[in-house]
Amino acid sequence: MAFYARRVSRQLTAVALTVASAVLVAAGFNLMLIPHQLLSGGVSGISMMIGYIFGGNISLFYFVLNVPVLIWGWIELGKRFVLLSILSVVATTLTLQFIPIRPLAGDILLASVFGGIIVGFGSGIALRFGGSSGGFDIIATIISRKRDYPVGMFIFILNGAVIAALALFTRDPDIALYSLLSIYTAGKVVDLIHVRHVKITAFIVTKESDQLVKKLLEVKRGITIIRTRGAFTEHEQDMLMTVTTRYELAELRKTILTLDPKAFVNIVETVGVIGQFHKPQP
């Protein structure tokens, strides 16, 4: 019963944070970017560009253009991820209707930077808790899952074509450059929050190696057991070496402290891994 209660609680938390992230994204659009005719990049940026050039409802364009991307995500990434992404897209579409298009910052530079921060923060939260804000987030997640590269930088690269199209249609390089700054800022914020691709190596010196090995193997983590001896105490005990992600570090720390509060743990960031590595699912 407790297991199911925790599971329901996690799901409700994911839903609530997905909706909150959608509100942040919509606020970044209507209060920072759209009033200055800046782009957020990706599908939303394409929607904005269509709205700026031809007129019409940007939120409707945003929803329609997201449909084929969501279908691709359903095929590649699984139901839970896409269901949360659908919730995010729907919530963003509805919120765009209620938040007035009004410049919160009069200066276009401030609008581009803080618009990128707000949108990036919203997108990062959605990705961190198992969903996405739709559009290029889904495309970047599919690619990063196959190639294990940072999601934020993939989003930035994919948005280059959108910025080029904006510069071509508007013939205003300043707007394109401010939009590029906003997109770059959003990508960096996403990478700060969404850390599934960042790997760490934990060296765990413990007297409870059997219990820890059993627990870590349950989450499909490879472990190397190294026999060690303390130079001062001359006591022999095991050291476990395992590579995981920063995203899973909190759970690893909790497991170690529960099974062996006196364990000595050295955690270092890993530059790269050669060989098989089980990546956490979105």
Single-letter amino acid code for the residue at 26: A
Domain ranges of the chain: 2-193, 199-269
Instruction: State the Cα–Cα distance between residues 151 and 181, nearest whole angstrom.
Output: 17
**Averaging pLDDT over each range in 173-182, 212-221, 241-250, 265-274, which range is the top one?**
173-182
pLDDT digits (tens, 9 = 90+) for 15-28: 888 899 999 999 99
pLDDT digits (tens, 9 = 90+) for 249-266: 767 787 888 888 888 888
Of the given ranges (108-112, 116-120, 202-206), which has the lowest mean pLDDT? 202-206
- Residues 272/138/140/60 CA torsion (nearest 10 deg): -150
Instruction: Note the pLDDT of residue 217.
Output: 78
136 closest CA partner among 84, 180, 72 = 72
pLDDT higher at 187 or 34: 34
Instruction: Note the pLDDT of residue 282.
Output: 47
- Check pLDDT > 70 for residue 215: yes
Instruction: State the Cα–Cα distance between residues 134 and 86, nearest whole angstrom.
Output: 7
For 199-269, CATH gives 3.30.70.120
Reported confidence tier of residue 69, pLDDT bands at 50, 70, 90: confident
- Calculate mean pLDDT across residues 124-138: 75
Instruction: Note the pLDDT of residue 224.
Output: 82
Burial class from Cβ neighbours inside 10 Å (0-12, 13-18, 19+) for residue 246 reads middle
- Calculate mean pLDDT across residues 134-152: 66
Longest C-alpha distance within the chain, in Å?
A: 77
Q: Which residues contact 266 (CB under 8 A, 6 or more apart)?
A: 202, 203
Residue with tokens 């499909």: 220
Q: Over the chain, what is the mean pLDDT?
A: 79
Assigned token pair, 46: 């394409």
Q: Provide the CA 16 distance to its chain's centre, in angstroms.
A: 16
Instruction: Note the pLDDT of residue 49.
Output: 84
Instruction: Note the pLDDT of residue 110.
Output: 92
H/E run at residue 203: strand 199-206
Assigned token pair, 250: 């909190």
Task: Name the H helices within 78-234.
Answer: 79-98, 108-128, 136-147, 151-158, 160-170, 173-193, 209-218
- Calculate mean pLDDT across residues 149-158: 63
pLDDT higher at 248 or 65: 65
Instruction: State the Cα–Cα distance between residues 42 and 221, nearest whole angstrom.
Output: 34
